[in-house]
Amino acid sequence: MIRIVEVLVALLIVFLLAVVVGVMLPDHGHIERTVEVSSPVRQVYDSINTFRRYPQWSALRSFDPRIQMTLEGPESGPRAKVSWTSAVQKIGTGSLEIKSNEPDSKVNIAIDNNWTGNNKNYTVSLQPSSSGKTLKIYVAYDVDYGWNLMWRYAGLYINGDPATVIQTSLNNLSAMLAGFPNTDYKDQQIAITDLAAKPVFLVNTKAKRTLEDVAEATSTAMTAIDAAMKKAGLTAVGPRMTITTNWGEEDYTFSVAVPVSAASVTIAGQQHAIETPVLSPSDTGGDEEEQPKTFNPGDKDKSGMLVIDANVRAALWSQGKALVTEYTGSPAALPLMRLNQKAYAETHGYHYNEQGVGRFWDELTSAPDAAQDQQTFKVYLPIQL
């Protein structure tokens, strides 16, 4: 009997000690992890102020490749939310929701998951280096344990799963950012617009990467397009378009296009509809033809475009969503405008395809004879949200 009493007393003492120690443990948990990147501040901020790219850089997918994630609310900023469901007990179900933000500086994210505690949140802070060449991304994790002593004891292991998930996510984010064009689009106004399909006459061409050579190739292409429109009885109904195929190290491959006044054209007495081009198998990875094919007027070429004559093609140009930016100045800066749009699409999680009607194009919205440094353009990149 005495031994039983002794055991009970010992257990009581252990319990009281556990309670005393638990009361002395902090009622709040806090950890921080960081990573250094060389990306512009705006790129990093835009990448964390949305969850569109979260499935790619989240550490949760490394625990469960089959995790299901769902986006809710606005695309970015406060109330943007991602929820997940996983059969892996360690992950379970949960969500992240952006509560507040400070442009190019901070994003506060509320956490709802199976980690212990209440009022769980991330604070992501951006700190550029003094040189401006690198940037540190800090992620602070905060949680309240209150008077729940079990939670307080669990807080002793806060450097376990929470810290591991944070650091792995940061490493994944750093790797993702390294794949984006390293260009700062902060001062460029980029918006999303709706495009209506429009029939165009176009000429594929190529020139050295000089303004003079590009202007000469463009002029030659416009002469061919004007002649083809006149022969077909059509007129121009929009500004001249320059469609980028490849901005190479030495050469620029592009198409010059003009919107025309009808969605069909009569060739040799037969009417042909101007349609959205569909690539042939040989342009989509199929076997190449042994001999180059000769296309006649009225045929569809390998790019799926209607052949008007030896040089001119017709196509129904892009419809749907596109990024658009306006620019005034020398056309020499247009490649940078395109690169900025590409980076913007990457950070916002917009899909794009630089082939077919998914290619960049710009419209010359000023008079053709405007001074070179006073020309105005609209630059487009088709996207899929």
Q: What is the pLDDT of residues 85-108, one digit of tens each?
A: 999 988 899 999 999 999 999 999
The whole-number pLDDT of residue 280 equals: 57
Is residue 143 within 8 A of residue 120, CB to CB? The reply is yes
Stated as kind and residue range, the H or E segment containing 153 is: helix 149-154
Amino acid at the residue 15: F
Whole-number Å distance between alpha carbons of 374 and 180: 30
Amino acid at the residue 312: V
Whole-number Å distance between alpha carbons of 30 and 47: 24
Q: How many residues does the chain have?
A: 385
Q: Give pLDDT < 70 ranges for the chain.
A: 1, 3-26, 148-157, 159-160, 279-292
The whole-number pLDDT of residue 11 equals: 53
Helix (H, G, I), strand (E, B) or coil at 140: strand
Is residue 67 within 8 A of residue 80, CB to CB? The reply is no
The whole-number pLDDT of residue 161 equals: 77
CB proximity list for 220: less than 8 A, separation 6 or greater: 205
The whole-number pLDDT of residue 285 equals: 44
The whole-number pLDDT of residue 287 equals: 43
Taking CB atoms within 8 Å and a gap of at least 24, the contacts of 305-312 are 305/202, 305/277, 306/265, 306/272, 306/274, 306/275, 308/201, 308/228, 308/232, 308/265, 308/267, 309/224, 309/228, 311/203, 311/221, 311/224, 312/201, 312/202, 312/203, 312/224, 312/225, 312/228
Is residue 136 within 8 A of residue 127, CB to CB? The reply is yes
CA angle in degrees (0–180, nearest 5) for 41-42-47:
100
CA angle in degrees (0–180, nearest 5) for 174-185-134:
40
The whole-number pLDDT of residue 144 equals: 87
Q: Between the CA atoms of 223, 229, 231 and 233, what dihedral angle is there, to the nearest 10 degrees? A: -150
Neighbours of 5 (CB within 10 A): 9
Q: Pick from 59, 64, 63: which is nearest to 96 by CA?
A: 59
The whole-number pLDDT of residue 19 equals: 47
Residue-wise DSSP of 222-267: HHHHHHHHHHHT--B-S--EEEEEEE-SSEEEEEEEEEBS-SEEEE
**Structural domains of the chain in order of their starting residue, each with its CATH number:** 26-178 (3.30.530.20), 191-261+310-383 (3.20.80.10)
Residue-wise DSSP of 167-203: HHHHHHHHHHHHTS-----TTS--EEEEE--EEEEEE
Is residue 193 within 8 A of residue 322, CB to CB? The reply is yes
Indicate the pTM of the whole model.
0.88
